[in-house]
Structure 1
Amino acid sequence: MAAVTKAMRIRNPALFICDIQEKFRPAIYEYQKLISTSEKLLKASSPLQIPVFVTTQNRARLGDTVSELKPYLTGPHVRADVDKTLFSMVTPEIRALLPETSPTASNDASSGNNTPLDVIIVGIETHICVTQTTLDLLALGHRVYVVADGVSSCNEGERGIALARLRDAGAIVTTSESLLFEILGDAKRGEFKAVSGLVKDTKEQTKGALDVFCKI
């Protein structure tokens, strides 16, 4: 069976929302643009039935997930909403929900519950929680797509260093729009109208996020 490689297309997507909380609004570089990208992906996750995993960091002190995202954190595709003290999202609660796999496991969708995930991650901070989550998922045999227009840090300069490290570690650094159309794969799919309409409706927000986050 084929090993999981970066060259393969997305087959088993999951969306990880990392610590996008209220108290971080004044501290994170271009936080509102990160929120807009995350909202777009969350809106698409429902028609595409992409499993969603959400974390907060010390919710009692740092606040709940931001209000813009809360309306989209319901439904059977939302698999976890976990508060944590670990920096990584791969907490015991979330790890228990992930497929058991290995770095050499097959990425064939017919292989059942052991199919590695194609984890799409947005959130903060790029060099801390996003990095540690990505490294843990890679070590477990999953692929990780770090959304360049959907991650940030307090210090702008941390982003580029972290993204370069994660790319070297085996993660795929890409954009939200590229991911959505890769998941769709075919304009004949029933979900195409909803997703393409969402992309059109968020065109200006996407451009704004790309302008600040993707000059790499």
Structure 2
Amino acid sequence: MKISDAIDSQISVLILIDLQGRLMPAIEHGEEVLNQCIRTAKIAQLLDIPIIGTEQSPSSLGSNIEAIQSLCSKTMSKEYFNACADGLIEELPQNRRQCILMGCETHVCLMQTALKLINAGYDVSVVVDGVGSRRALDKQVALDRLQIAGVRLVSAEMLAFEWLKSAKNPAFKEVLALVK
């Protein structure tokens, strides 16, 4: 699979990284990031795309925000910043080679997880309007580094229409209502 290949809903999995109640207030534009993650997860559900959530050290940082928890088909607790070190790859459906990442913090857990997934042979995309860090500089440097490493950078709307492929998709009107 080449990075130039289209994102395909049939082989995608959405991974929501560490959208935890105690972390989100510290994230720059955290409310916007969270809303974009929720909107994208609802689109993924409409298109039968599995959604996996991660929680960093939930005993100290708490659980993911309830709206995120309810959208995930599974949520895994982790202690490593790179979710793969805590078993993320084993949780991924076998037939899903495209990993779409959203969440926090861009320059720590999300970046380390994305880099490991690339190294493991997965096609990785990061939804740039659905990721956040405490500082804008950290987010930008991480996105630059991820792109150099071979991660596809997309917007949430770009992703939604790529997943749909056509206005003839049965979920088109429902997805359009979420996007607009």
| TM-score of the pair, normalised by structure 1 | 0.78
Structure 2 Cα separation of the partners of residues 197 and 137 of structure 1: 32
1:15-94 → structure 2 map (5 Å cutoff)? 15-73=14-72, 78=73, 80-94=74-88
Q: Provide the C-alpha distance between the structure 2 equivalents of 1:164 and 1:62, rounded to a whole number of angstroms.
A: 27
Alignment match, 2:102? 122
Q: Is the 8 A contact 1:28 1:153 kept in 2?
A: yes
SS of residue paired to 2:83: coil
CA-based RMSD = 1.4
- TM-fit CA distance, 1:32: 0.5
Partners of 1:98 and 1:54 in 2: CA distance: 11
Contact 1:116 1:143 in 2 (8 A): no
Aligned twin of 1:135: 115
The whole-number CA distance in structure 2 between the counterparts of 1:53 and 1:20 is 12
Residues 109-188 of structure 1: pairs in structure 2 closer than 5 A: 113=94, 115=95, 117-188=97-168
Per the TM alignment, residue 91 of structure 1 is displaced from its structure 2 partner at its CA by 3.9
Per the TM alignment, residue 36 of structure 1 is displaced from its structure 2 partner at its CA by 0.4
Matching residue of 2:172: 192
Instruction: Give the Cα separation in 1 of the matches to 2:179 and 2:56.
Output: 30
Identity of aligned residues (%): 31
Between the two proteins, the alignment pairs up a number of residues equal to 178
Measured in 2, the distance between the counterparts of 1:197 and 1:116 equals 26
Unaligned runs of 5+ in 1: 100-112, 201-216
Q: Larger C-alpha radius of gyration, 1 or 2?
A: 1
Q: Distance in 2 between matches of 1:128 and 1:25?
A: 14
AA paired with 2:17?
C
**8 Å Cα contact 2:44-2:51 kept in structure 1:** yes
